[in-house]
Structure 1
Amino acid sequence: MKKLLFLLPFLLLAFGCARNHLNVPADSFTEKVKVLGVVPIIVDTGSDIRHPQKDQLISLVTEMNRRYEQQFVRRLKTTGNFYTVALMDGNAQEIFSNLLFRREKRDDAAIQYNKYFWKNEELRNYLRKNSLDAVMIIIISGLAKNDKIYSNTLMSSLTGEYNYLVMTAQILDGAGTILWEYPNFRGHILSYEPMIGLQYPDFSEAEANLSTKAEIKFKTLDGLRRKLEERRKDYLLRETNETTVYGKQFDEMLSFLHFDPEKEQKESARALPTPPAERPKVESQTPVAPAAVEKPLAPVSAVPVVAPAVAPAAPLPGKTQGFETIKPSSEEIVPASGKVY
């Protein structure tokens, strides 16, 4: 059972990579999007962020965005899906305010997230100005939803409304078409995890006060900073340059951006039935043995004429089979002649 649980993430990743998670056919996407621009990661200050130190929290997340967005762009280039991937210049908040049409809190397939809609004309001008085929917009926003959180011992839990920061992303063309999005709804198994929780149930205080219900409290800015800066560890438990929070979000997004357009074309061609009219042509193309007159004949060696086998005659009286006994004409002894060796 432990081995199965260990292999489950790799199996999910393998199945996820084998599927097209784009909103358009993969070959159409690769033809259309050669140059992709990535807008600096945006913080939606107008979203549902309820932290009492909201302004300081926004400044903290903005600082972390500038620190780690280059890592995402480098990893996006390694997918090989684009000819050029570039991190765009400019102020993220200004770009966001110029392009945003409206936001909408959505609950699709039991996944709650914030979806964004854009001004088509401004978006088209932005792509034309920067010579882009498409643009990727990544947004961190606040979201409140009902959840059930357990204590560290798993002996207690508290169901309530908690405030989170979530990450969403879209790839759009000049017409405003959403070519790809995260959270992604084109997989076999739908999943979407918040980026970081801003609140927690204080089970320790409830236990200390012998209370049956814990209070929901906001995390401190120092605690949130430590969580955002927490480094991933490799197999040898050494710290890497990637953070746990951002790295997990980047992993999820990139897992939905791995696709093979050539494989998709082959599978589509394999799925098409063969027209019956083509069958006679296939049969006519079957190689036929050339006529005997066209192929030079190999020289035929003369077959030796073998005399018909004659049955041996029956042995005569006074003769042995196979050898003839010659009787001397007289009883005179004839001396041997010749050399003796």
Structure 2
Amino acid sequence: MRILFRLALLMVATGALFGCAHNYYNIPQDTLEKRVRTIGVAPFFTDAESDIRHPEKASIVSIVRSYNLKNEKELIARIRSTGIFYAVRPVTAEPDRLFSSLVWNREKRDDARIVYNKYFFKKDDLKQLMTENGLDAVLFVTVSGLTKPGKVFSSNFLSYLETDFNYLTMSAVMLDREGNTIWEYPNFRRESPSYPMFFSLQYPDFDEAAANLTEKVDVKFKTVAGVNAAFAKSEPSSVANAPEVSTLYVKQFDEMLALLQTYKPLFGAKEKEKETLPAPGSAPVYYTPPASAAPTAPPPAAPVSAAPQGVAPAAPAAPVPQPAAPAAPAGPPPITSGDIVPEQPPAR
């Protein structure tokens, strides 16, 4: 029994040492830490033109837009709490307008047996967005429709239906100023890529088939009220003093955050010297007054020889007046509206 316990403990320790050393970014972690300091999180996109086949599509799109707006702040707060980046800022913009101005193409992909929607962004507009907001990278999250093969079991697990189902899916990508992909979800740097769907818009009606004594199972769309009820189901936020968050979003956020984490080797890594961060170009520059010149000391007086008896010593020459030292300025000039004080890094 002890041998089994020790073996299990060894396996857990080995997994902790080597399993956490995976880098899910498309660039080395050292490069990430040096170049990607401040990131922005764009408002969540809803791709209304994607493959959403619900007969009341407009209502479904409206529900998604509403809950995107309610839950996007949770992801920003959770990324901040990890301390991975120097600063995490929301990008203030109208989601649909930003989506139409940045995205020029969508493509349904099947990579490593993962079916997903991939989005392509305009490089010039992307660079302008990041320059205006002082960002090194931006994280885009998109909810879209997707039809793909699925396998759904009945409630008693005695039967199942394997066919195409229509889903809502959530994807994400982090891009730098040149449009290069720094990180993406679904993530293909995992040993076994997986991509859980955000929400299924359809379900197989096993009960109706059983009631009619038939093996033919119809696939039906969920009602608008049912979709809204599923999105409204919430739970407490993992961030202190934050409002409740939709359970559907929590599951996706957990997946993404597990792939955003960076690793810290426990053994064999020499501690690197802390680099001094260069002052951002927008940091205020204060005026430092030049040191006032020290007054020139008068030359030493020539030795006075002893005066002969009966002769009075000569009166000393009057001192030459020295120019007054310039008055030091009262203090640094006030910060103008264009000066930006860099954010302080979060406590690690």
Q: What TM-score, normalized by structure 2, do the two folds share? A: 0.69
Instruction: Return the alpha-carbon distance in structure 2 between the equivalents of residues 16 and 167 of structure 1.
Output: 26
Match of 1:134 in 2: 137
Distance 2:25 2:107 in 1: 21
Deviation for aligned residue 1:232: 4.0
Q: Which runs of 5+ in 2 are unaligned?
A: 1-13, 238-242, 273-348
Paired position in structure 2 for 1:61: 64
SS in 1 for 2:244: strand
> Which SS does the other structure have where 1:124 is aligned?
helix
Distance 1:211 1:16, change over 3 A: farther
1:94 aligned to which of 88, 97, 101: 97
Q: Residue 115 of structure 1: CA displacement? A: 0.6
SS in 2 for 1:69: helix
Partner of 2:159: 156
For 1:73, the aligned partner's letter is: I
Aligned-pair CA distance for 1:17 = 4.1
Q: Deviations over 1:129-148 (max 9, x none)?
A: 11111101000010001111
2:200, 2:64 → 1: CA distance? 13
CA–CA distance in 2 between the matches of 1:175 and 1:193?
Answer: 30
CA distance in 2, matches of 1:261, 1:177: 25
**Equivalent residue for 2:194?**
191
State the partner residue of 2:291: none
Partner of residue 75, structure 1: 78
Q: Percent identity?
A: 42
CA contact (8 A) 1:26 1:264 kept: no
Letter in 1 for 2:217: A
Separation in 2 of the partners of 1:192 and 1:12?
23
State the alpha-carbon separation in 2 of the partners of residues 79 and 171 from structure 1.
17
RMSD (Å), alpha carbons: 2.5
Does the CA-based 8 Å contact 2:21-2:265 persist in structure 1? Answer: no
1:31 and 2:34 matched: yes
**Pair 1:233–1:82, CA change in 2 (3 A):** closer
Is the counterpart of residue 200 in structure 1 residue 199 in structure 2? no
Change in Cα spacing, 1:211 to 1:13, as seen in structure 2 (3 Å) is: farther
* 2:204 counterpart of 1:177: no
1:255 and 2:258 matched: yes
User: Per-residue CA shift, 1:120-160, capped at 9, x if unaligned?
Assistant: 11111111111111101000010001111111101111111
Say if 1:27 and 1:261, in contact at 8 Å, map to a contact too.
no
Q: 1:219-253 CA distances to partner (integer Å, 9 max, x unpaired)? A: 0111111111223489xxxxx92332100000000
What secondary structure sits across from 1:102 in the alignment? strand
The Cα shift of 1:81 comes to 1.1
1:210 aligns with 2:208: no
| Partner Cα distance (2:78, 2:105) in 1 | 30
| Secondary structure of 1:153 counterpart | coil
Counterpart of 2:146 in 1: which secondary structure? strand
Structure 1: tracts of 5 or more residues without a match: 1-10, 235-239, 270-341
Q: Deviations over 1:64-97 (max 9, x none)?
A: 0111111111001011111111111111111111
Structure 1 residue identity aligned to 2:183: W
**Structure 1 residue aligned with 2:121, among 118, 122, 131?**
118
Q: Is the 8 A contact 1:195 1:249 kept in 2?
A: yes
The number of residues matched between the two structures is 254
Larger radius of gyration: 1
Structure 2 counterpart SS, 1:24: coil
SS, match of residue 213 in structure 2: coil
Alignment correspondent of 1:306: none
CA distance in structure 2 between the aligned counterparts of 1:117 and 1:264, rounded to whole angstroms: 40
Structure 1 position 227 matched with structure 2 position 198: no
Does 2:47 align with 1:44?
A: yes
